[in-house]
Chain A
Amino acid sequence: KAGVTQTPRYLIKTRGQQVTLSCSPISGHRSVSWYQQTPGQGLQFLFEYFSETQRNKGNFPGRFSGRQFSNSRSEMNVSTLELGDSALYLCASSTVGTVLGEAFFGQGTRLTVV
């Protein structure tokens, strides 16, 4: 069974640009969550999508957005990039039908803003 796949693995962007990251969850998983991780920081929750609907949202500015498609694949978009957006962006998928589902992570996308 394939794991969570995130693309691209690495990305370098310039301040002011926008970026789109992609996440393909484990087959059968309908919940996808996104996290931002910076050095020395824990995982900062961005948002969670389930069945194409945003179910939970963290405390990030509106420049951070996401969406989920009918095949459960998800994308997150960051507009007007700032230097502080440089981070490892992680996607996690989990099952539905139970409130006790475990989250499985992709390898992440390392975004560097210059």
Chain B
Amino acid sequence: GQQLNQSPQSMFIQEGEDVSMNCTSSSIFNTWLWYKQDPGEGPVLLIALYKAGELTSNGRLTAQFGITRKDSFLNISASIPSDVGIYFCAGQSLNAGNNRKLIWGLGTSLAVNP
């Protein structure tokens, strides 16, 4: 099935560093969603973006909906050990039947060295 290009695939950083990851698509999306998944758990929604150019923050997390509507990035500032996990992006498009459909990236695995 269709998937987004999410990068980097993995990151290993020092506590306190900032982190940046992004997703790109060849298709236009109406919504971008960013999730975090801890081991053995389901993904948890971090940030939802609904408008091209929109910049939204959630604590130390900031995400932006690209103006071309084909990309989005997520930044984490001053990382802490509990930021460890897999981060997924998802884009939402309208398929031919006007039904919502989520397209997913393969995830960015983040490891934080205390």
Contacts and interface: CB of A to CB of B under 8 A. Distances in A.
A100 interface: yes
Contact of A42 (B30, B42, B88, B97): B88
Interface of A is mostly: strand
A4 interface: yes
Q: Using C-beta atoms within 8 Å of the partner chain, give the interface range for chain A.
A: 20 to 34
Contact of A56 (B3, B45, B99): B99
Given A58-B1, A100-B30, A105 B42 contact: yes
Interface residues of B, number: 29
B45 A99 contact: no
B43 interface: yes
A110 to B, nearest CB: 7
Interface of B: 1, 3, 30-31, 33, 35, 40-45, 48, 50, 88, 90, 92, 94-95, 97-102, 104-107
Ranked nearest first, the 7 interchain pairs of A and B with the lowest CB-CB distance are A105-B42, A42-B106, A43-B104, A42-B104, A105-B43, A108-B42, A107-B42
